[in-house]
Amino acid sequence: MKRIWAVVLAVVALGAVALGATRIKAGFIYVGPIGDYGWTHAHDVGRRIVDEKYDWLETVYVESVPEGEVETYIDLLIRQGCNVIFTTSFGFMDGTLAAAQRYPNVIFAHCSGFKRWANMATYMADFYQVYYLNGLMAGALTKTGKIGYVAAFPIPEVKRHISAFAIGAREVNPRAEVHVRWIYEWYNPAAAKEATEALIAEGCDVFAFTEDSPTVVQVAAEKGLPSFGHYSPMYDFAPDHVVSGQLVHWEKIYEDFLVKVHKGIYTTKNLAHVDYWWLLAQGAVEVGAKPGMVINPKYEAFLKNYVINHPVFGRISVYDLVFIRLNQMADPGITFDPFQGPIYDRKGRLVVPAGMWMSYDALITMEWAAAGIVGPWPGEP
């Protein structure tokens, strides 16, 4: 008899828990195809990780959504029962805001934008610190002093990354140049290939890039030249030539956000000031050729033997410098930032005064090019 009561109580208790817990159905709207091996792929990896972790969570996604169509897709997802919507392109901003105002009982989060509402938060995982660390390595690796950078669009995000990369390269090698080619596409392997080949012809011998395919890595590796992977782990595409790279962990943001929604911390009333700007310290981004491999072992010896005279640390190997800087930025009490003044742009103007760091607003609107960058820079102040 006691046993039966125990079972009944257990069932009732389970039922109560099930009823009490809010089930979340989260819809993800992607601008690209999930097979792009870049931006959208990374968001989808994050989605799947969180989906598998929590049984109160169900997720659905739509890929390759044109920017003007975002409201249509939000409508369709909400009709399917989604109560949280993530939109992952800057161009979705106004559509997401309009939808947030039309659906006050649904929670929205928009990636990379700046407009918020009572039920609409914003979030971003940014790479500029990681590009700086990659720049330190690239500065040591270049023999010609010319580093190639294949860039997507001349927008502040990409400009910030190239400048951080150039600042890193020059910290190690004050004569290093970063040669930039714009391809005006987020995903275009053919254009990326042409740009890489043109940069090789110009004498560049180390490569970094912003494009959602491993093309630059592959083209450089064919010529035996080192490169830095972008967005996804690209080590496997050229294990002898991928030195390091930028990796993202969107799941850290998605998990934090959804758990807070589930616990009732985030509601449809209090998101107007919720803005994730997550960097190394929050674990949203990682430096490495693949997860857990900060520097490809093939390049360890070289970087350990490459000793420079550093203004702060004195004689130090680039290998050690990378890890010191990484720890300074990954530590929750961040003690270093790549854009730490004094910084002069390539026209010689002081853009960050001595002793200052750039504000968040200055970072996300930055247009200037750091010293050492060579090539056209549309919109340069």
Partner 1 sequence: MRRLGPLVFEPRLVPSRLAVLGVSLAAVLFALLLASAVFYGYGRNPWQAYAQIGRGLFGTWPSFSEVLRRAIPLILCGVGLTLAFRARFWNIGAEGQLLAGAVAATGVALFLPVPEGWRLPLMFLLGFLAGGVWAVIPALLRVKLAVNDVISTLMLNYVMAYIVEWLVHGPWKGPTMRGFAYTDAFPLSARLSYLPGTRVHWLTLVLGIAAALVVTGLLARTRLGYEVRVVGQSPEAARYAGINFTAVFALVMLLSGGLAGLAGVGEVAGIHWRLRSPGHISMGYGYTAIIVAWLARGSPLTAVLTALLFGLIFAAGDYMKTALGLPFQITGVFNGLVLFCLISFDLLMFWRVRLARKEEAWTGSTGSSAR
Of 86-94, 193-201, 212-220, 222-230, the segment contacting partner 1 by CB under 8 A is 86-94
**What character string, x for contact with partner 1 (CB under 8 A) and - otherwise, covers 22-41?**
-----------x--------
- 58 part of the interface to partner 1, by CB under 8 A: no
Residue 315: other Cβ atoms inside 10 A? 8
- 90 part of the interface to partner 1, by CB under 8 A: yes
Token pair recorded at residue 363: 């970072």
255 Cβ contact list (under 8 Å, min separation 6): 49, 50, 53
Select 2 or 79, whichever has its Cβ closest to partner 1: 79
Q: Which of 49, 307, 362, 364 binds partner 1 (CB under 8 A)?
A: 364
Instruction: Tell me which residue of 37, 32, 17, 20 sits closest to 64, measured CA to CA.
Output: 32
Min separation Cβ 124 and partner 1, Å: 12
Q: Which of 6, 56, 68, 347 binds partner 1 (CB under 8 A)?
A: 68
Residue listed under structure tokens 């039920």: 119
> With contact defined as beta carbons under 8 Å apart, do 169 and 135 qualify?
yes
- 114 part of the interface to partner 1, by CB under 8 A: yes
> With contact defined as beta carbons under 8 Å apart, do 323 and 294 qualify?
yes
Q: Which of 6, 12, 76, 190 binds partner 1 (CB under 8 A)?
A: 76
- 302 part of the interface to partner 1, by CB under 8 A: no
Of 76-84, 135-143, 225-233, 318-326, the segment contacting partner 1 by CB under 8 A is 76-84
- 45 part of the interface to partner 1, by CB under 8 A: no
Q: Which of 6, 15, 80, 349 binds partner 1 (CB under 8 A)?
A: 80
Min separation Cβ 39 and partner 1, Å: 15
In eight-state DSSP terms, residue 370 is B
Q: How far is CA 375 from CA 29, 162, 216, 226, 369, in A?
A: 35, 12, 18, 21, 10
Taking the alpha carbons of 218, 221, 225, 226 in that order, is the dihedral positive or negative? Answer: positive
Select 171 or 345, whichever has its Cβ closest to partner 1: 345
Min separation Cβ 100 and partner 1, Å: 16
Q: Which of 6, 7, 75, 267 binds partner 1 (CB under 8 A)?
A: 75
Site for partner 1 in 181-240 (CB under 8 A): 184
- 154 part of the interface to partner 1, by CB under 8 A: yes
Select 73 or 131, whichever has its Cβ closest to partner 1: 73
> Across the beta sheet with 120-125, what order do the strands follow?
57-62, 24-29, 84-87, 107-111, 120-125, 275-278
Select 136 or 183, whichever has its Cβ closest to partner 1: 183
> With contact defined as beta carbons under 8 Å apart, do 147 and 208 qualify?
yes
292 Cβ contact list (under 8 Å, min separation 6): none
Min separation Cβ 132 and partner 1, Å: 20
147 Cβ contact list (under 8 Å, min separation 6): 138, 139, 165, 169, 176, 177, 178, 179, 204, 205, 206, 207, 208
Of 15-23, 154-162, 240-248, 275-283, the segment contacting partner 1 by CB under 8 A is 154-162
Token pair recorded at residue 259: 């758990």
Q: Which of 58, 71, 194, 320 binds partner 1 (CB under 8 A)?
A: 71
The site for partner 1 (CB under 8 A) is made up of: 33, 60, 62-69, 71-73, 75-77, 79-80, 90-91, 94, 114, 153-156, 159, 184, 364-367, 378-379
